[in-house]
Structure 1
Amino acid sequence: MFHSTTGLIHLLAALVALFSGSLVLLRPKGGLFHKRAGYAYLASMLLLNLTALLIYHLFGRFGPFHWLAVLSLLCLTGGMVPALLRSRITRWIYWHYYFMNWSVVGLYAAFWAETLTRTLPVGQFWPLVLLATMVTTITGSVLIRRHAARLLATGPATRP
């Protein structure tokens, strides 16, 4: 199941990211719990992506999943920089909301792709990866849009 210590660390970081990311999504926003769970998510995602960039057993070279790890790092950066610089960025909460939500959607897409390819018939790798990614992305897009107005309403968190 594990090809290396790096693979084990990758799995453990993914589990922590799934747990902490889900907590951030499901719990009230902006409080101390949100910040602590968010930093746990950030740390686990950084470790997850770092280890992803070190795993080469699938293709033997830099492949599509490495590019997705780079995209994930860009989403994390796009979500954290506005939050950390909120006093200098107008409407920082919008950037934080969208980038961090898409970060979690990407994590869930990877989770479902990994789960499907490990549990369903061999030989269907790419169709299963594409199906899992497409369904997760569409579902995530609907949920992000559905909750945006409520979560981004003008309040203390949206003021510069």
Structure 2
Amino acid sequence: MFHSTTGLIHLSAAFIAMISGAFVLLNKKGGIFHKRVGYTYVISMYTLNITAFFIYYLFGKFGPFHALSVMSLICLSGGIIPAIFKKHVKNWLDWHYYFMNWSVVGLYAAFWAETLTRTLPVRQFWPLVFAAATVTAMIGSYLIRRNAKRLITERSLSNTDQNK
């Protein structure tokens, strides 16, 4: 399953990120629980992505999955930095919401691609990776858009209440 200590750390960080990411998505936003579990997600994702740069088992050099790790780091940073500096970032919640959600979608797309290529007897590596990523991204895109409408409505209502 893993070929080194780095691989074990990578795998462990992936499991922690998947669990904490799911908890953040499925529970109430804001508040101390969201922040604590969210920081667990962020730390595990940074660990996951950084260790990815030390894994060259598949291609023997920098490959497409390393490029996806760069994209993941961009999403992760694009989500956490506005939340940390929210007093200085206009529409910080929008940035946080979209980037963090796409970070989670990318994580699950990688999970499904990894799972399918390791468990199915089909010898079509790239079509399985593409199919897993595409289906996950389509479902993620739908859920992100659907829940964004609710988030925007809740924020508008709370802003209206504060202005009274």
Pairwise same-fold verdict (TM > 0.5): yes
Confirm or deny that 1:35 pairs with 2:32: no
Unaligned runs of 5+ in 2: none
In the alignment, the residues of structure 1 paired with residue 27 and residue 150 of structure 2 have an alpha-carbon distance, to the nearest angstrom, of 14
Q: Which residue of 1 aligns with 2:54?
A: 54
TM-score (normalizing by structure 2):
0.93
Amino acid at match of 1:147: N
Deviation, structure 1 residue 74: 0.3
Asked if 1:143 corresponds to 2:143, the answer is yes
2:83 aligned partner: 83
Moved over 3 A (4+): none
- Indicate the residue corresponding to 1:108 in structure 2: 108
Shift of 1:90: 1.5
Q: What percent identity do the matched residue pairs reach?
A: 65
CA distance, structure 2, for counterparts of residue 122 and residue 139 of structure 1: 24
Q: Distance in 2 between matches of 1:90 and 1:131?
A: 36
Identify the structure with bigger relative contact order (alpha carbons < 8 Å, sequence gap 6+). Answer: 1
Number of equivalences: 157
The letter for the 2-side match of 1:127 is P
Q: Report the TM-score, using the length of structure 1 for normalisation.
A: 0.95
Amino acid of the structure 2 residue aligned with 1:76 = L
Q: Higher helix proportion, which one?
A: 2
Q: How many angstroms does 1:91 deviate by?
A: 1.1
